């Protein structure tokens, strides 16, 4: 993984997407977003990474996770739109 790659992280608490920063002393992501599922089954991003945390945190560090993988193209596009506010065609 390279710095700023958009990756998906699966944990026991759920799935998260963000920009890879580092994996020294834990996995660090910038602009982390928790994946949520809507009532119709659609995927979206929560406005934070936990219910009692700050809204749209700038970074998070995971000490425990199940696996990490590059995010697929649709998720990368949605993540960029959600974090930048720029909608691409």
Long-range contacts of 37-46 (CB under 8 A, 24+ apart): 43/75, 43/78, 45/17, 45/78, 45/79, 45/82
Q: Burial, 18: exposed, middle or buried (Cβ in 10 Å; 0-12, 13-18, 19+)?
A: buried
Specify which residues 43 forms β-bridges with: 37
- Share the mean pLDDT of the chain: 93
Q: Percent of the chain scored above 70 by pLDDT?
A: 98
Q: What is the pTM of this model?
A: 0.90
For 52, residues 6+ apart whose C-beta sits below 8 A from its C-beta are: none
């Amino acid at each position: 993984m390279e710095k700023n790659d958009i990756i998906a992280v699966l944990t026991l608490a759920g799935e998260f997407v963000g920009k890879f920063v580092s994996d020294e002393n834990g996995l660090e992501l910038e602009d982390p977003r928790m994946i949520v599922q809507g009532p119709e089954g659609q995927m979206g991003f929560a406005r934070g990474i936990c219910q009692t945390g700050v809204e749209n945190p700038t970074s998070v560090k995971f000490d425990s996770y199940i696996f990490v993988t590059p995010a697929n193209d649709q998720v990368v596009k949605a993540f960029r739109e959600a974090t930048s506010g720029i909608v691409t065609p």
